[in-house]
Structure 1
C-alpha cells in the first residue's frame, strides 16, 4: 500500500557514566550504548538537557523569533499548491495543511473543477478533529481505494509520524470509518485490495514474521468477516530479506493485477504476479530491476543493470499474458536514455507512458505512445526548461498528467499536461521573496578520480567575496538532489537557503555520486567499498568554490539529512580543516552498529555489512562515530533528530554528540519527541528548526563564535 572506557563525564549537567551492562564483546567498549535506549529515562534526561542548552543559546539571537515567525508564515501560507494525490473516478484527492489544520484535511474535489483551476473541496477526514477525538496525534500515511468505484479505502494513520501505522477501512461515500471493517493493528504494514472482501497483507503476524530489517516477510490473504489471525499465508520470504510486499496496479481496461515483491536486498528482489487460480507466478523481471507500472497489457520495468544488449537505465516491457502463460520472451525496449540522461520517475495512463527525465540534472517530461509497429513515439511536454519536475498523479482515462514544476527562484506551479503534450497552469504560487539580483549557475567540479561533479550555486550578483557557503548534498540510494524553491531548500530546513542568499552568502546543491542524477551508473559508483568517492566529490565542490574566490576554508557549512547526515558527519571528521560547520539531520553515524538498529539491516546493499570483516575494513575508514579523535579540534556541529524516528535510530545522533562533547568539542543538539524520520510533527516544529539552523549558521560562520552552547 505504501511505496513506500568507562569514564565519568559531565555533559550538559548529565553524568555519562558506565556503559550498559552487556556481554563482553567488542561492542561493550562503547561507553554510550545507553543512549540507544530510545525512551530510557537516563537517555531522555540527557536529550532534554542538551535541547535546553541549544535552545537557550540559539534563541538568544535577535533574529531568531523573526525567522521563526516568517518560516511558519511561509509554511502555513494558504496560497500553497493543492497537490493532487489520487484521481478516483471523477474526483481528485489532496492532503491540506495550514494554521487551522496542522495535521491536515484529507479532502476531495470534482475532477472537472480541479482541471478548471477552481476546485471545490469537500472534507473526507479532518485529521486534527480525529486526533482530538481519539486522543492520538495522527499523521497521514495515505489511502488505497478499491477500484473501480474507489469508495472503500484502506486509510493508513501513524501515531506521531513513525513509519509504523494503523490501517482502517473507510467509506468515501458515507465519509466514515466502516463499522467492523478491515483494521490492521499498529505495525510497519503493507496491504492491498484483492477484491471487495479480501486483502493481501504483509504485517507483524507475531514472533518470527518480520525480517531482520524490521519489515514484514509474510504476506497473507485475509477474508472479510474472519479473524485476522485466520488469514492464510500466500507467500513467505526469508528472515534475511528486506521485506515482502503486496501491491495492485490497474491497467487501462480495468484489469487489476496483483503483485508480491520479495525484496531480497534494498536493490534486488523478485516480482510475482497473481494468476487466475489465485496462485502467484514469478515474473521474468530481473532481480535488479524495478516494476514501474502496467500499461495496455505490459509490465513496464526500469532496468538498473544491463540486460543483454539493453543498457542500464532503460525502460522495457513484457507482455503479461505471455508471463502468466510461462512463455515470456526477451522484453521490448520502450526507452533508452543517453549518457547525460536518467529516468527519475514513470507514470502510466490508458494510452501513454510518461517519463520524468533528467538531462544534466534538468527536468524534461516525455510522453511515449505505441506506434503500432512495436516501437514508441516520443513527445516532449511543453513545460518550462531548466526546472525540477515532479509527477503528482494522473487522470488515466484522459491521459492527463499532473506535474509540479519549480526552480530555486521560481515558485512551484501545478500543470495539467494533456494527451497532446500541451500544458495548462492550474495553480502558481506567488513569489515569497524578491529574487532580483539573485543568480543561479551550474558548475562542474573535478573529483579526486577526475570525474566531473555537477553542482548548482545560488548567490546575489555583486555579493562580497569571499563569503560563507552552505553546501547541501545527499549522495546515496539512487536519489537525485534537484533544485526546489529557495523557501524549501535545503530539505527539512524551510527557508534557510533563502535567508542565506538574501544576506549575501552562497548556497550550493551538490550532485555528488551515490544519487540518481545520471542513472544507475552514478549511484553504483559510490556503493559499498566505493563510498569514499561520494565524499571526495563533496570536497571537490567545496574546493571549487574556494578556487572561484567565493569562500575560504573554515567558512563552509555542509548540510545533509539521513544518508546525507552520514555524509555531513564524514565531512566533519575527515575534513575539519575544510568545513567550519555541519548541519546533520536524522543521521547514520555509527556504521558499526547501524545494521543492528531499527531498519538499518535493509541498507547493507548500500553500505556493506559491518559484521563481515572485509566490509568493516572499508566502512571503518569513514564511519564518523569511530573516527572522532581526541587530538583533533572539530568545528561546531548542529545535530537534529526525532525520538520517534523508527527508521534511523536516534542513538546515532545522541552518541555522536556525547562523544564529541566528551572531548570538549562544541555541539548544538535538538531532538524532537515526535515526527518520525521526517522530524517535527507539524509546521510549528519545522519553523523552530529552520530558525535554529539559521541562528547556528550566523553564530558559527558569520559571527565566528565557535564556543559550545
Structure 2
C-alpha cells in the first residue's frame, strides 16, 4: 500500500475534541402526527392490531403515504443536521472514499473489462483494454445517465470473444433491470433492449445472443410491490425484438420456482439452476447447446430441491460441481454429462473449513475456504490433488479467481477492515503473482488493529467476533456492533469508508459472526433460522454483553447496526434488551414478520423465517416480530430507522409502520426517527454522494448517543 501523502502520516498534531451536545441541546419537538387505523385481525386465535397498515401503500401512488414521508423526512433531517458530528463524518467519509478503485478484471478473447472509479464518481465507469498492457478505453460511463447519479451499471457480461457486451441498467435502486448491448470495438450501442429482467445473470451463446431470466410484466402501478412469480429463462438473438425471444425454461405449473441459466466456458453446455426460495436447495437441468437449431431439451441432472449444486465448469463432457449433499461444509464432485444417468465422484472432499467458491483456471482448480470467517485459498489439479496454498497474508477476504480452462490467468482481490481492495494477477502455471491495481490511500492502515475474539452465547455456543480499533485506543470507547445472521450469508472482513471514519474518531467497530450465516456451513445456518431464529438474537445480545463486560465499550456507549435481515436483527434485539443498547440503526429491515411474504421477493424468505400462514411458524414469528413487540412503558435507546422509497426488495412499508409504532409508544424521551432516501433502493446502485450523506447522518446520530467525541474539524484524528 502507498500513502497518497507522506505528510498525512508524518503529521502528529493532536486535534481538539469537541464535547458532544447533550440531548437537551438538540431539542426534539413533538413527532409529526401519524394517523392510527383500526385494523385488527384474528390470527390463530389471537387478535393482532395493525394500526399503520395504510403505510404499506406505495409512496409513488398514494398521496397520504407521500405526505407522511415528506413530514417525517423534514423532521428527521432537521434533527440530524443539528448534530455536531454530522459535518465531520461527511467530510471524513468523503475524504476516505476519494481514492482510485478498480473492479476485478474479466477476460474475454483478447479483451479485459473492469470498472474504475476515480474516487468520488457517483457510479463506476466500465473500461476495456485490447490486451492487458494496452491503454484503457472508457466503454460505459453511467454517470451520464441521470442528473442525480441514481442510474447505475448493475452488471455486464462480454460475449465469448469480447467484441460485444451486454449490460444491465438499474434506475433508482430498483431490482428491475434493463439489458442493453454494445459493440466493444466501437463503443456503439445496438438496438437490442430487454425489459422486466430481475434476479438474472447474462450468459452468452457465442456472439449470437444470450440467455437471461425475467418475470411477466406487472400490472400498472405494481412494479415495486407485486409478488414475483413465474420467472422464466429466455434466449435473446441479437438484432431481434424482445417479443421474439424464445422461452427456454419455465415451470408454469410451479410459479413459485425461480430459474437461471449459465453457459459453460466452452459454450457447449447450459445449466438451468432452479430454486424455491433462498435456501441452497436446487434442481439442475442440462442443455446440450451444440444444437444451434434451437432444439434445446433441458434434461434433468439433479431433482428434488434437497441440496446445493453449484456448477463450476466443464471440460468436454465432464462437469464439475460444488455441493453440500452428504457434506454440510461442501465438497467438489464431477459427473459425465454423456452418461445416461449421473454418477457423482468426489475429487475434493469436505473439510472442517467450508468451501466458499471454486473455479477452473488453466488446468488447475482454485478453491476458496472460510477459516473462522476469513479467506483461505488453495490450488488443486483437476483430479483433486492438493498442490499449493495461495498466500494471502493477514486476516481478510479474497474474491474473484475467475478464469477459463486452458488459460492460466486469473485475477483476485484482497481486502480487510483497514485495507481497501487490491487487485492481483495470478498465473496458476508458474505461481507468479503481480499487482494489477493498488489504491493510494488517504490514511495509514498500520494505525488500526484487528483482533478476533470468541465469546459464549446464551446456550454455550462459541461465536467469533472481529474487533477493530485505532492502535492508540486502549481503553473503553464507544463501540459500533454490526450483525446479520441469516440466509447462509457470511460476514467477512472488508473495507468501509464509513466504518473507517468511526475508527478515526476513536470509536471501536465490532463484527459478530452470529448463527444464521454461512461462516461454518449448513449447521451454522440451520441453527439460526426458522424455529431457531432466537439463537441469532441471543448471539448478538451476547456479543454486546461481551463488549461491555470486557472493557471494549463504555457503559453507555454501545451502538448496534444491521441492514435488511440485519435490520430485523436490530429491531428484535432492541425490543428484547433495550437496557443493553444505547443507540441503534435498523436499515431497510424486515419489521413486520406476519406480512413479509406479501410483497415482491418476500415470499422467498419463508426458507429462513417460515410461513406466517402456518400455526407453528406464526407463533415463532409473532414472538420476535419487531413491529408487534415494541414494549411500551420501557425506555428504549435512541433509534434511527433508515429505508428508501424505491426499495422493492424489502418494501419501505416495513420501516414506515415500525417507525410510526415506535413514535406512538411510550418508550422514553430519546429520539426514534426514520430517514427515507429518495431515488434509492435496497442498497445496490446507490450513488456515492447519497452514500456519503447517509453514512454521515447515521454515524453522527450514533456518535451523539454513545458519547463518541469527533475531532473539531474535517481532518483525521491522530
Query: Do these two structures clear the TM 0.5 threshold for a shared fold by scoring above it?
Result: yes
* Count of matched residue pairs: 661
Cα distance between partner residues in 1 of 2:300 and 2:226: 24
Q: Deviations over 1:546-565 (max 9, x none)?
A: 22122355431111111111
1:412 aligns with 2:412: no
Which stretch has the larger CA shift, 64-73 or 239-248?
239-248
- Any unmatched runs of 5+ in structure 1? 1-9, 114-118, 489-493, 705-709
1:24-423 alignment to 2 at 5 Å? 29-39=49-59, 40-77=62-99, 79-80=100-101, 82-98=102-118, 101-113=121-133, 120-131=135-146, 137-147=150-160, 149-179=161-191, 181=192, 183-188=193-198, 190=200, 192-194=203-205, 196-206=207-217, 213-214=227-228, 216-223=230-237, 228-238=242-252, 242-251=256-265, 254-267=266-279, 268-275=281-288, 276=291, 277-284=295-302, 287=305, 288-297=307-316, 298-306=318-326, 310=327, 312-322=329-339, 326-329=340-343, 331-339=344-352, 341-370=353-382, 374-391=383-400, 393-394=402-403, 397-419=406-428, 420-423=430-433
Residue aligned with 1:412, SS: strand
* 1:407 CA drift (Å): 1.9
Cα distance between partner residues in 1 of 2:396 and 2:643: 30
Higher relative contact order (CA 8 A, sep 6+): 2
Cα distance between partner residues in 2 of 1:641 and 1:529: 27
CA spacing shift, 1:475–1:136, aligned 2, 3 Å: closer
* 1:614 CA drift (Å): 1.1
Which stretch has the larger CA shift, 646-655 or 149-158?
149-158
Cα distance between partner residues in 1 of 2:254 and 2:545: 42
Report if the CA contact (8 A) 1:445-1:453 is conserved.
Answer: yes
CA spacing shift, 1:639–1:111, aligned 2, 3 Å: farther
Cα distance between partner residues in 1 of 2:80 and 2:397: 33
TM-score, normalization: structure 2? 0.85
* 1:421 CA drift (Å): 3.1
Cα distance between partner residues in 2 of 1:207 and 1:71: 39
Match of 2:24 in 1: none
* 1:327 CA drift (Å): 2.5
Q: Deviations over 1:670-689 (max 9, x none)?
A: 11112221067311111111
Cα distance between partner residues in 2 of 1:240 and 1:233: 16
1:690 aligns with 2:700: no
Report if the CA contact (8 A) 2:150-2:685 is conserved.
Answer: no
Report if the CA contact (8 A) 1:87-1:395 is conserved.
Answer: no
Q: Deviations over 1:614-666 (max 9, x none)?
A: 11111111111111121222111111111111111111111110000011542
Q: Deviations over 1:98-120 (max 9, x none)?
A: 4674233222123422xxxxx62
Residue aligned with 1:620, SS: helix
Cα distance between partner residues in 2 of 1:686 and 1:459: 23
Report if the CA contact (8 A) 2:197-2:212 is conserved.
Answer: no
Match of 2:579 among 577, 580, 588: 577
Report if the CA contact (8 A) 2:273-2:282 is conserved.
Answer: yes
* 1:465 CA drift (Å): 3.8
1:561-572 alignment to 2 at 5 Å? 561-572=563-574
Report if the CA contact (8 A) 2:110-2:162 is conserved.
Answer: no
* 1:567 CA drift (Å): 0.8
Report if the CA contact (8 A) 2:172-2:685 is conserved.
Answer: no
Residue aligned with 1:104, SS: coil
Report if the CA contact (8 A) 1:50-1:669 is conserved.
Answer: yes
Cα distance between partner residues in 1 of 2:95 and 2:253: 47
Match of 2:9 in 1: none
* 1:348 CA drift (Å): 2.3
Cα distance between partner residues in 1 of 2:144 and 2:673: 36
* 1:597 CA drift (Å): 1.9
CA spacing shift, 1:193–1:458, aligned 2, 3 Å: closer
Q: Deviations over 1:122-176 (max 9, x none)?
A: 11122223446xx9953112123332x2323322111212110111222222312
Match of 1:661 in 2: 663
Q: CA RMSD in A?
A: 3.0
